[in-house]
Amino acid sequence: MATTSPTETTETTELPILERPVPHIIAHAARRDPSGWTSYFTTTDHKKIGILYLYTVLVFFVLGGIEALLMRLQLGTPENSFLTPEIYNQLFTMHGTTMIFLVIVPVWAGFANYLLPLMIGARDVAFPRLNAWSYWMFLFGGLALYASFFFSPPEAGWFSYVPLSTKEYTPSNGQEAWIYMVHLTGLSSIIGAINFIATIHNMRAPGMGWGRMPLFVWTILIYAYLIMLALTSLTATVTMLLLDRNFGTNFFDPNEGGSALLWQHLFWFFGHPEVYILVLPAFGVFSEVLPVFARKPIFGYKAIAAATAGIAFLGVLVWAHHMFSTPMSTVVLAFFMLSSFLIAVPTGVKIFNWIATLWRGTVEYRVALIYCVGGIFTFLMGGITGIFLAVFPIDWQLTDTYFVVAHFHYTAFGASAFAMVAALYFWFPKMSGRMLNEALGKVSFAFFFVGFHVTFLIQHSAGLDGMPRRIYEYSPESGWQLYNLISTVGAFLIALGVLLTVVNLVRSLKKGTVAGPDPWKANTLEWFTPSPPPENNFDVVPRVRSVEPMKDIRRQVEQQTGVVQQYESGKPLLRR
Amino acid sequence: MPKPSVPRMPKPSVPRMLGLPVARGLAAAVVGLALAPAAAHAGWLFPEKGGSPNADRIWTLYLLIFILATIVFVGVGGALLWAMVKFRARRGQVAAQIHGNTRLEIGWTVGAFLILVFITVFTFVTLPGIKNPPASDIDENGNPVAASANPLYASTDQPPPPAGTPSLNLRVDGQQYVWRYQYPEQDDTRVFSYVDMVVPVGITVTLDITADDVAHSWWIPKLGGKMDALPGYTNKTWFKIPLDAIAEGERQVVYDGQCAELCGRNHANMVARVIGMRLPDYEAWVQDKAAEIEQAQEQAAQTREQLLGGDE
């Protein structure tokens, strides 16, 4: 490789790295970008739709969080009369449904919408108008569910097990609201998934083969395929429930030849792939953020991409481990135990690869990185408690107790919610053109992380001590008071952490430091565009020669101009 | 992948990369092992046991996985935190540009797999003792019998207890929001009870679990795992309360539990109790219960006759 001798640039090399000449394309839009709030109603721009998704998700996240806080208040003391059993059941139904269908699935749709075309060097998604339709379907699905608060919210749990969710035992229309929500958000996700798949398969930048695609894009691709499989099945399943409830069919009525167990199989056939729909994009975020702040390439790119596909494949073969205590023969139990064990292998591989990515790097304690490491640490523990639950005789003791509640919050919250906030801190500069405050971010992380572990670590003990899930009260003699009190205190610490991040967000939109196109000296193509990017993203799409195209571009600029572009360890990115 | 053009760093030596965390993990695991039995009964770290052999065996299986899990957690979690502290950015440091290490990656994949193979083997070794009902500890007259060998492993549903020793089969019926227990018939009287299940100690009790309306789940933590009660299906489990579970001078031993599957608004109040009695006490209880039910039924029949006769 040719080396260029240093030219008369000694002056500029003294500058902090972000103030030196930067490689980026200045886009010259042909017409002025539509602006103002009305443009959000008519837009088909993937970035605006992404932002719509993210704001909507934030609102639902806060609502779901408030529902959780109300439940924790009720459980803080034994025999509490703060909530009636009816309201308590409505709250946990709404909390679960909100967090799954209206927060974690769409939050990745939001980030993917914004980032995917930018990361692969495309000017939009394959079907921009379908994309807008997906968003509006999602919004109205959420509104359909929340409108039920004005008459009778659903109360049969987010899993809506039959026969409890049939008309005989849950006559209220809230159950129909739940079904319509699943229909609307399900269709939204399926259409969105088709769009992502078409975009990724067809619209990658020149030179970006499958082996040079960013890992976040890999996880979104697999996420989209899982959605096609799982949500189509769920949409059909809830339609069967709708027919049973209102039109006289008997799919699930044991007295008329139907089966109550059928619902559980169909639901979890969706429900377990769903877990990976929630968590794989979080893995993608970890795989993008860690190499940037460790200043090292991702360790074992191919293994991580392969593990993603492996997890997805095994993920559709493990659903009945949610049903170990139902009437099933030992052969079936053993099959689902072994398939659940197997899934630990690719998951473990990913964790090892992330640690190896940090190993011998120069790790910068940026908020995005800290959230990622906190998320990996938390998820590690959730994965390990998953091994306990996969052993079906142990599961017979632990299923439907607070041990399970703790377990899936360690995985869904530990990976997905931590990654969600990490992604926010990492990509906010790209989306808004301004930086989030790092100091405030670190304080928010402290509350978020400590609060999380105070809330959920102790719930393992509550479950081991015999406390079942979904009970609105417990007696003082049960001995569960201390566990619950600790858990309630922790929940409010998490709430404080979320509040601080929201304050940071609102404040930084107006007052944050101006970010420039590439504030982190990151690796992927979205950092090639101005922040925020213009409507057409790229005037020129660069040729991609590795997994880290921005590194290549910086190196090329260095060689051509002699101005150092690469990050140097321990030196500030910006002049203080 | 294209070769990076930055100067190649020396390859990391695997032992150096992993040596310290592994040593730390092992040290912590040893401490964990030492603490485990002490904390065993605390309820903070371990499931409940003590009322039945299957619960005890689940506890043993849990202990094994707890030890392995502690080692893995401390090792991997420790390596993660160690990497954060040891390799934080300092002035003048250069990150090693490593893209991967095939041998290391194959190594940890196989390692993870082997741990799971070990857990699988151990689970299947323990399983028959959890799943299959054993022989009772006493015969029909309450005399202790010699312990018999464990029954062979059955690959399908729960087999009946070994023939030749007494056992008790009860039908457990979940209803919103109460548990109903159906006993074997006593001289043509159908004996049943609600909430409190009275059983003899030392006798293997097998349960046929069903539900009348919505799904419920039968669970007495000290007597073993939970089994869902699903309308249209019969689920099975068993327990055998040890003979010495009743303390000296006491008449009975009580185990508490409650419904573990969401069954409606009063799910939290659907409690169950299993009361273990010595065989003679139990037999007396069944007789009393049968008499009580017979009397109640006669009374009901009389009332019905009076009401109907008065009308016509």
Q: Given an 8 Å threshold on Cβ–Cβ distance, is B230 in contact with A327? A: yes
- Per-residue pLDDT tens for A429-446? 999 999 999 999 999 999
**CA of B18, closest CA in chain A: separation in Å?**
10
Judged against a pLDDT cut of 60, whether residue B288 lies above it is answered with yes
Are the beta carbons of A388 and B47 separated by less than 8 Å? no
Beta partners for A453?
none
Q: State how far the Cα of A86 lies from the Cα of A153, in Å rounded to an integer.
A: 10
> Is B83 an interface residue toward A (CB < 8 Å)?
yes
Could you give the residue numbers annotated as active site of A? Answer: 95, 124, 158, 188-189, 272, 274, 276, 287, 321-322, 347, 350, 469
pLDDT at B137: 84
Of B66, B95, B231, nearest to A296 by CB-CB distance is: B95
pLDDT of residue A31 exceeding 80, the answer is no
Collect all residues with Cβ–Cβ distance below 8 Å to B99 and sequence separation of at least 6.
A297, A299, A300, A301, B1, B4
d(CA A429, CA A232): 36
Question: What are the tokens at B282?
Answer: 């139990």
To test the contact with chain A by mutation, choose from B101, B267, B270 the residue with the greatest count of A C-beta atoms within 10 A, namely B267
How far apart are the C-alpha atoms of B18 and B58, rounded to whole Å? 34
Lowest-confidence segment of A22-26, A103-107, A474-478, B176-180 by average pLDDT: A22-26
Mutation for testing the A interface, residue in B3, B123, B210 having most A CBs under 10 Å: B123
Strand partners, B218: B227
Global confidence as pTM: 0.89
Tell me which of 1.20.120.1750, 1.10.630.10, 2.60.40.420, 2.60.40.10 is the CATH number of domain B167-311.
2.60.40.420
Residues 6+ apart with CB under 8 A from B66: A388, B36, B45, B46
The pLDDT of A312-334, averaged and rounded, is 93
Residues on chain A touching B176 (C-beta within 8 angstroms): 169
Residue A338 and residue A320: Cα distance in Å, rounded?
11
Residue B151: its pLDDT value, please?
39
CB contact under 8 A, B100 and A337: no
Under 8 Å between Cβ of A21 and A561: yes
CA distance, residue B184 to nearest chain A CA (Å): 23
List pLDDT tens digits, range B132-180.
888 888 888 878 776 544 433 333 367 778 777 788 999 999 999 999 9
Q: Which of B116, B124, B157 sits opposite A341 (nearest CB)?
A: B116
pLDDT band at A2 (very low <50, low <70, confident <90, very high): very low
User: What is the ipTM score, two decimals?
Assistant: 0.88
pLDDT at B30 over 70: no
**Contacts (Cβ under 8 Å, ≥6 apart) of B173:** B179, B180, B181, B182, B210, B211, B212, B229
Contact list, A470 vs chain B (CB under 8 Å)? 262, 267
**B156 and A296: CB-CB below 8 Å?**
no
Minimal Cβ distance to B235: which of A327, A345, A360: A327
Contact between B69 and A388 using a beta-carbon 8 Å cutoff: yes
Write down the residue that tokens 């709430």 correspond to: A495
The answer on pLDDT for A194 being more than 50 is yes
Shortest distance, CA B240 to any CA of chain A (angstroms): 16
A43-561 belongs to which CATH class?
mainly alpha
Instruction: Tell me whether B121 touches chain A (CB under 8 Å).
Output: no
pLDDT at position A573 is 62
Residues of chain A in contact with residue B25, where contact means CB-CB under 8 angstroms, are none
CB pairs under 8 A between A and B: 289
| Amino acid letter for position B128 | P
Average pLDDT score over chain A: 92
For residue A351 the two structure tokens come to: 């964790």
Q: Residue B65: its chain A contacts at CB < 8 A?
A: 387-388, 391, 394
| Contact state of A466 with B221 under an 8 Å Cβ cutoff | yes
| Alpha-carbon distance values, B189 to B181, B280, B295 (Å) | 14, 19, 11
CA distance, residue A347 to nearest chain B CA (Å): 10
B268 contacts in chain A (CB < 8 Å): 85, 471-474
CB distance from B23 to chain A under 8 Å? no
Give the model's pLDDT for residue A5.
44
Q: Are A94 and A153 in contact (CB under 8 A)?
A: yes
Nearest residue, CB atoms, B225 vs list A393, A547, A555: A393
B286 shares contact with chain A (CB less than 8 Å): no
- pLDDT tens, position by position, A123-135: 999 999 999 999 9
DSSP 8-state symbol, A104: I
The CATH 2.60.40.420 domain(s) of chain B lie at 167-311
Q: Which of B61, B96, B215 is facing A394, going by the closest CB pair?
A: B61
pLDDT band for position A535 (cuts 50, 70, 90): confident
Average pLDDT in chain B: 83
Tell me which chain B residues have a C-beta less than 8 angstroms from the C-beta of A558.
none
With 60 as the cut, is the pLDDT of residue B34 above it?
Answer: no
In terms of Cβ atoms closer than 10 Å to its own Cβ (0-12, 13-18, 19+), residue A220 is buried
The terminus-to-terminus CA distance of chain A in angstroms comes to 36
Spans of all domains in chain A: 43-561
CA B15/CA B22 separation, integer angstroms: 10
Q: Which whole number is the average pLDDT over A498-519?
A: 93
